[in-house]
Amino acid sequence: MKAPSTIFYALLGLGSLAGLALGLASAGTHGLLFALFTILVVGGSLMCVFEPSVVRSAFCLVGTFGGTAGLFLLLGADFLAMSQLLIYVGGILALLLFGVMLTPPDLSERRLPRVLGGLAAVGVIVAFFVGKVAGVARWVQTPQLKAPVSRTEEIGVGFLAANEYMIAFELAAVVLTVALVAAVYIARRRKEDLTENEDRPSEPFAAQVSQVSQAHAESH
């Protein structure tokens, strides 16, 4: 299993260098930054798909999320970029790593032919639809972009002004509260489970159910 990963990382490195050179040649510093963030996004998610280990995949997602934050910066959405870094890299990724640590590792789960086949199939489908859209869309040239509206004050005013996003803001607060309390409630170990586990250790729920259903079938 050593050779495929070597080839993969060599191709990834070569592609990154070519992309950086292309970006620098086509649009100067801005193009270089765009190429850098694009490589972070695409390379991070490619590595996440290819890595056999779940922990490594989760850390590869740092590149994806950080690169997305960089693209937001280039698009003039500073507040959004910082929120992306805080919430995704700081929050969601930490949650995913907790999930990784609380579940068993399975290094034999990744099948390289299946990953490559899925990559080819999804690539063909997405390329088909992109071709369709590119044939229909009429690109309007915007030679002079306006200054971006992303100052934190404006976003805060948008959140709190009654005729803009205030209701959505309050609803998001309610949804977050309900979802997090519900997550804690679902995830906690219940007391009856713990006492039951002391009596009968290491018997999974599915086995219990199959025993019950077998007994039920025998009684008929």
Partner 1 sequence: MALSAYIAVSAVLFALGIVCIVTRRNIIYVLMGIEMILNAANINFVAFARFNGDGLDGQMMAIFVIILAAAEAAVALAIVLNVFHLFETVKPSEVDLMRD
Question: If binding is defined by CB under 8 A, does position 85 make contact with partner 1?
Answer: no
Near partner 1 in 40-59, by CB under 8 A = 41-42, 45-46, 48-49, 54, 57-58
Question: If binding is defined by CB under 8 A, does position 163 make contact with partner 1?
Answer: no
| Contact residue for partner 1 among 22, 130, 166, 212 (CB under 8 A) | 130
* CB distance 16 to 43 below 8 Å: yes
Question: If binding is defined by CB under 8 A, does position 205 make contact with partner 1?
Answer: yes
Least separation in angstroms between residue 38's CB and partner 1 is 5
Question: Among residues 3 and 174, whose Cβ is nearest to partner 1?
Answer: 174
Q: How far apart are CA 100 and CA 104, in angstroms?
A: 8
Question: If binding is defined by CB under 8 A, does position 77 make contact with partner 1?
Answer: yes
* CB distance 74 to 30 below 8 Å: yes
Write out the DSSP string of 79-98. HHHHHHIIIIIIIIHHHHHH
* CB distance 48 to 57 below 8 Å: yes
Least separation in angstroms between residue 149's CB and partner 1 is 6
Least separation in angstroms between residue 219's CB and partner 1 is 18
Least separation in angstroms between residue 218's CB and partner 1 is 17
Number of residues lying near partner 1 (CB under 8 A): 82
The first and second tokens of residue 53, run together, are 């280990």
Least separation in angstroms between residue 128's CB and partner 1 is 11
SS3 state at 111: coil
Question: If binding is defined by CB under 8 A, does position 5 make contact with partner 1?
Answer: no
Residues contacting 51, CB < 8 A, separation 6+: 57, 60, 110
Least separation in angstroms between residue 168's CB and partner 1 is 6
Question: If binding is defined by CB under 8 A, does position 100 make contact with partner 1?
Answer: yes
Q: Please report the sign of the dihedral spanned by the C-alpha atoms of residue 93, residue 99, residue 105, residue 108.
A: negative
Amino acid identity of residue 98, one-letter, is F
Question: If binding is defined by CB under 8 A, does position 170 make contact with partner 1?
Answer: no
Near partner 1 in 7-36, by CB under 8 A = 27, 30-31, 34
For residue 97, the tally of other CB atoms under 10 A from its CB is 15
